[in-house]
Each structure stands twice: as structure tokens, then as C-alpha cells.
Amino acid sequence: MRTLLAGYGRAGFSPEEALIQAGKNRMRPIARTTAAAILALMPLFQTLRYRCSWS
């Protein structure tokens, strides 16, 4: 993120604009990684939920 901010600063963006643009560029990969982790763990959560109800 710091390199993105520095790059936008060198490109002539104001600090506020650079922060907004860097945030926009990083939000998609962060959201995709979070969604993939949640989807990957869903079978585990379902298994734990059903195991607890059978006890």
C-alpha cells in the first residue's frame, strides 16, 4: 500500500486522492481473499455445527 501511495504521489495526485485510489486498488484483492477463506471454511463450520447438535 505504501508503494502504491508513493506511486500516486509521484503521478501528481494529492495525498487524499492517492489514498482513495490506493484503497480502491487494494480493496478487490482483500475482499476476494476474505471471501475465499470464508467459503473454504464453511464445510468445517457446518461439520462442527452438526457434530455439536448430535451430542
**How sure is the predictor about 54, in pLDDT bands with cuts at 50, 70 and 90?**
low
Residue type present at position 15:
P
pTM: 0.57
Per residue in 8-40, pLDDT tens?
Answer: 888 898 988 888 888 888 899 999 999 999 999
Better-scored residue on pLDDT, 53 or 37: 37
Q: Which helix (H) or strand (E) holds 45?
A: helix 15-54
Place of cell 508513493: 6
Distance from first CA to last CA of the chain, Å, rounded?
A: 47
d(CA 20, CA 24) in angstroms, rounded, equals: 6
Better-scored residue on pLDDT, 39 or 3: 39
| Cβ count within 10 A of residue 9 | 15
